[in-house]
Chain A
Amino acid sequence: MARPSPAAANPPAGDRRPNRFAAGLTTVPRAVRHQHWAFKVGLVLFGVIVAVLILTPWIAPYDPDATDLANRLAHPSSAHWLGTDQLGRDELSRVMYGGRFSVTIAAITLVLSAVIGIVLGAVVARRRGILDEFVMRLVDLLIAFPEVVVALFLVAMFGTSYLVLIAALTVVGWTPFARMMRGQALEIYTKEYIEAAEAQGCSRSFVLFRHVLPNALGPIFAISWLRFGHKLIIVGSLSYLGLGVQPPASDWGSMLADAQPYMQRLPVLVLAPGLAIFLTALSVTLLGQGLGLAGRRPTREAAPDATAAPVTGTVTAPDVMEKATL
């Protein structure tokens, strides 16, 4: 049983200094070489997908909305690599354009959730008291709450819109970030360098931005990739149900729903968009898992102590949920 030394409890913070992220960008190739294999595979896959999605307007073979009724439900051929759908639209072009919506919404809600969660987590870790109690109860309640039900509730109130879609994903999405940030911050606030900074008269916000946030962001960065995959799948499921992307536009989820009546005749219409969601979600999951494993590896022996030690003491059900994601 190793005692949790400060460095072991928060490995990436001690030696790699993620707060020098901008400086780190210049040494990206060297940094990547030392990462876990899962991270490398995920990074390459995700990079290719994002590049294709960005370049889609230039490299897509057809207009995704151009119908060709004489040539509907065509099998894959050299003209249409993935065939055509029930209105004769080129499936490959539609898969490429459809991804832009799913990935963008997932990214927007991820950033929103992360910012809200990190700010709330940092604030309640400092203030404690009744606010902390309230926020943590809310987290306990929401952390396993199905997003689809939140989305249905908001749609019942305000009708379908992109704002509702983003809100539905953020209402539940901030919770893991808040939990993680709070845990990290509680630990960092007990460190000597915080005491030193406060003794020198540094303001609360200076301590927060100069010491607490930079040291806490490493593990949160890893988990945010895993959340990205989760969001992508949820966006697709809401679009599948008609609560996400709205009719003239389409994304992978709505394409799956549209293709279902024709799947026996032309299975590729169901296979292609589904495979696209799966590969994108898998790439970010590998990325996050690789980052998480790399951060954890040197301290495998100390890990149980490090998670049990924090100031709070009690282990609740959401701890298990969090453990399951990494």
Chain B
Amino acid sequence: MWRFIARRVVVLIATLLVVSVLAFLIPYVGTADPARTILQARVADKALDPATVDALRAELGLDQPLPVQYLDWLRHAVTGDFGFSFTSKAPVAQLIANAFSVSVTLALTALLLALVLALPLGIFAAMRAGREVDHGVTILTQVLVALPEYWVAPVSILVFALTLGWLPSAGWRGPAWVILPACVLALRPLAYFARVARASMVEVLNAPYMVAARARGLGTAGAISRHGLRNGMTPVMTLFSLWLASLIGGSVVVEVIFAVPGMGRLLYEAVVNRDIPLIQAGIVSIVFVVVVINTLTDLAYAMLNPAVTVSDGTA
């Protein structure tokens, strides 16, 4: 077990180092002269004074060899210092921290909503496997997977905000502003959760310990809640954390449409504005979140192996 953990941590650090090199190289690819790029981002004037460019190059250490520059950048990045945003002039670390908390709130709300709706659907479908209810749930999940969120989002704004006036259309000023984007984000994970819940419950329902539980006189509901859920939910929880990792940085479209100031929108606007420090920090922190959550998921999955739970637990 310890070897497994150690290997995963090594992989984690190696991944972050590779990504940090790539992120560091962003201003150097495509343009020959980063100092010029930076100055052009600061002043809208196209004609740059060569003396100013040279001065900035010396000031920022851009005349140093590339590896030296990288180590310098990395030393600051490790302590959370990614410099200042070109566009808003605020410290990048602070912008990232704010956006991160917004994205976590949105992603967790969406995923909990998806989970609450998906579990009954999946379990119900598994109990009626191969019958009409099961087919209905399968069709529903296929429809949800095929729905593009950049279509559902405008339509939901049109219906619930502009026409009915029940909810605010865009922004991030309180709990009411979370509802619409969270509902839109929840649709695809809902389908995936329901499918996995159904698949693992079909397996669990046929397992010998469930028959044993029923034989001891537990009713269907009791057997499922006492024994079935405990064993069937591990895959769903794994999927939950994978989706969490992917939604925290990846819900760009929904955050842009609903004007939610989260990680995805921050990175998108940084790319559009060529705000290099913000792009670098955004990429590194999104990858950091994904890698850490994936590693923790793998460790948890290894520890919560359902076979182990069955043998020393209920049956």
Enumerate chain A interface residues (CB-CB to B < 8 A): 38, 137, 140-141, 144-149, 152-153, 155-159, 229, 233, 236-237, 240-242, 253, 256-257, 260, 263-264, 267, 270-271, 273-275, 277-278, 281-282, 285-286, 289, 304, 314-317, 320-321, 323-325
Contact = CB atoms under 8 A, between A and B. Distances in A.
A92 to B, nearest CB: 18
B146 A285 contact: yes
B116 interface: no
A132 B227 CA distance: 37
Nearest to B274: A156
Contacts of A241: 252-253, 256, 268
B154 A148 contact: no
A82 B142 CA distance: 27
Contact of A141 (B22, B199, B291): B291
Given A277-B151, A285-B146, A317 B301 contact: yes
A149 B242 contact: no
B258 to A, nearest CB: 12
Contact of A159 (B22, B30, B238): B30
B151 A156 contact: no
Nearest to B155: A270
A315 to B, nearest CB: 7
Given A152-B267, A317-B294, 7 more contacts: A144-B245, A152-B271, A153-B22, A153-B26, A241-B252, A270-B158, A317-B301
Contact of B142 (A237, A240, A286): A286
Given A141-B15, A264-B158, A256 B150 contact: yes
Contacts of A256: 150-151, 154
Given A157-B30, A237-B150, A237-B253, A264 B162 contact: yes
Given A156-B26, A237-B253, A317 B151 contact: no
B196 A324 contact: yes
Given A229-B145, A317-B294, A324-B192, A148 B26 contact: no
A58 to B, nearest CB: 28
Contacts of B276: 156
Interface string B199-224: 10001000000000000000000000
B186 interface: no
Interface residues of B, number: 62
A148 B253 contact: yes
Contacts of A323: 195-196, 199, 235
Contacts of B253: 148, 237, 240-241
B77 interface: no
Interface in B277-315: 279, 283, 286, 290-291, 294, 297-298, 301-302, 305
Interface in B234-287: 235, 238-239, 241-243, 245-247, 249-250, 252-253, 256, 264, 267-268, 270-272, 274, 276, 279, 283, 286
A277 B279 CA distance: 30
Nearest to A236: B148
Contact of B151 (A38, A149, A274, A315): A274
Contacts of B272: 242
Given A152-B271, A156-B279, A320 B238 contact: yes
A156 B150 CA distance: 22
B147 interface: yes
B310 to A, nearest CB: 13
A299 to B, nearest CB: 14
A315 B301 contact: yes
Contacts of A38: 142
A304 B201 CA distance: 12
B143 interface: yes
A149 B302 CA distance: 28
A152 B290 CA distance: 16
A285 B145 contact: yes
16 contacts: A141-B15, A145-B246, A145-B290, A146-B286, A148-B253, A149-B267, A152-B268, A152-B283, A270-B155, A271-B155, A278-B148, A281-B147, A320-B196, A320-B238, A320-B239, A323-B195
Which 9 pairs of residues, A with B, have the shortest CB-CB distance?
A146-B250, A274-B151, A281-B146, A282-B146, A324-B192, A144-B242, A240-B150, A320-B235, A148-B252
A87 B70 CA distance: 49
B11 interface: yes
Interface centre among A140, A144, A236, A273 (most CB of B within 10 A): A144
